[in-house]
């Protein structure tokens, strides 16, 4: 079903990344990923990162359930959201000090950046432990962000996109020329 389809998409993405030399071994990465459909499997985890659809009510409900399921009261409950306030997700738990945004960029196995987004309720210890997890266990680069829509990267990216749309609409430049300018002039691989 959906779990197998997701695994096939992940496999395909990892195989492409390996072929381009972005990762050493797709098989090695896949061996470290365990897909489960039962939330109870998260009970003994120290770090849980949700990455479900961008629906505030669904995420709050999931955090409420994880709060009940995850045994360790110090466990980090992270969200990969880029648009929902972390404060709202934390408020759905009895441990808002353990809730933090851990925002990855796609494709996750290739891109090194992770935005760490504490809310006003997130403890300093949770932020420090999240840094250690991201930088040491995942070997990625973490930056700190305020809990506001878009965080750092998307907040910077949206004006670029809007300017490109305006340029094209006004006839100032074609879509192809704008893409080429961003790829070749700004080193943005996707234009």
Residues forming the active site: 82, 103, 115, 154
Distance, in Å, from the CA atom of 79 to the CA atom of 56, rounded to the nearest integer, reads 11
Q: Are strands 141-144 and 99-104 parallel, antiparallel or unpaired?
A: unpaired
The CA dihedral of 126, 129, 135, 138, to the nearest 10 degrees, is -90
**CA-CA distance, 117 to 120, in Å (whole number)?**
10
Could you tell me the sign of the dihedral formed by the alpha carbons of 152, 157, 160, 161, in that order? Answer: negative
Please state, in angstroms and rounded to a whole number, the distance separating the CA atoms of residues 29 and 97.
31
């Amino acid at each position: 079903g959906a779990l197998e389809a997701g695994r096939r998409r992940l496999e395909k993405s990892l195989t492409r990344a390996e072929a381009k030399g972005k990762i050493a071994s797709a098989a090695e990465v896949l061996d470290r990923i365990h897909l489960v459909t039962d939330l109870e499997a998260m009970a003994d985890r120290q770090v849980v990162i949700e990455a479900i659809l961008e629906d505030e009510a669904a995420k709050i409900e999931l955090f409420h359930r994880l709060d009940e399921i995850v045994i360790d009261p110090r466990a980090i409950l992270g969200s990969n959201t880029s648009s929902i306030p972390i404060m709202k997700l934390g408020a759905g738990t009895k441990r808002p000090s353990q809730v933090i945004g851990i925002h990855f960029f796609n494709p996750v196995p290739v891109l090194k950046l992770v935005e760490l987004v504490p809310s006003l309720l997130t403890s300093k210890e949770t932020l420090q432990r999240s840094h250690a997890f991201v930088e040491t266990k995942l070997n990625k680069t973490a930056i700190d962000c305020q809990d506001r829509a878009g965080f750092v990267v998307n907040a910077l990216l949206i004006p670029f996109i809007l300017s490109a749309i305006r340029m094209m609409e006004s006839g100032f430049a074609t879509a192809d020329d704008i893409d080429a300018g961003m790829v070749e002039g700004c080193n943005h691989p996707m234009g």
